[in-house]
Amino acid sequence: MKWIRERDALIAQTMAFIQSVTGKKDGLHSPGTETAAFAVTTEFVAVRTVAVEAEPPPASPAQPLPVQIVVQAPVQLAPPRASDFRSEMQDRIANFRKHQERFEREREEYCAATLSKVRAAIREAPSDRPAEK
């Protein structure tokens, strides 16, 4: 499972980073706990910087760009009215009750259908009992 190893490596790198930044050991592991799963592998790569000179674009007559500064007042929202909350809650409760009533009705119909099938099977079953004398 490659993802487990990747996860463990990421956790180990994160822990090493935290320790390097804070200079403290974390309190997540007790002193006797093995940390073999959290071995940190760090790879340093040398990067060489290259400077490239680019030609400036051909000189054109400088034209100032039109700048518009638009200052808008902060948008203030009206506080929600209690009646809005109340009506929303009443709507949600009504919808919930409708769902519950529908579920109840479906359960009752299923139960009635199952019982009628069982009763029909009992009536149609041949009687294996010996006749009483």
Distance CA 60, CA 56 (A): 11
Q: What is the pLDDT of residue 73?
A: 72
pTM of the predicted structure, to 2 decimals? 0.33
Query: Would you place residue 42 in the very low, low, confident or very high pLDDT band (cuts 50, 70, 90)?
Result: low
Query: Would you place residue 107 in the very low, low, confident or very high pLDDT band (cuts 50, 70, 90)?
Result: very high
Distance CA 18, CA 13 (A): 9
CA atoms within 13 A on the CB side of 118: 6
Can you tell me whether residue 67 is helix, strand or coil?
A: coil
Q: What is the dihedral of CA 115, 121, 122, 125, to 10 degrees?
A: 180
Residue pLDDT, tens place only, 44-103: 656 666 666 666 666 666 666 676 676 777 777 666 677 788 899 999 999 999 999 999
Mean pLDDT of the chain: 77
- Of residues 20 and 43, more confidence is placed in 20
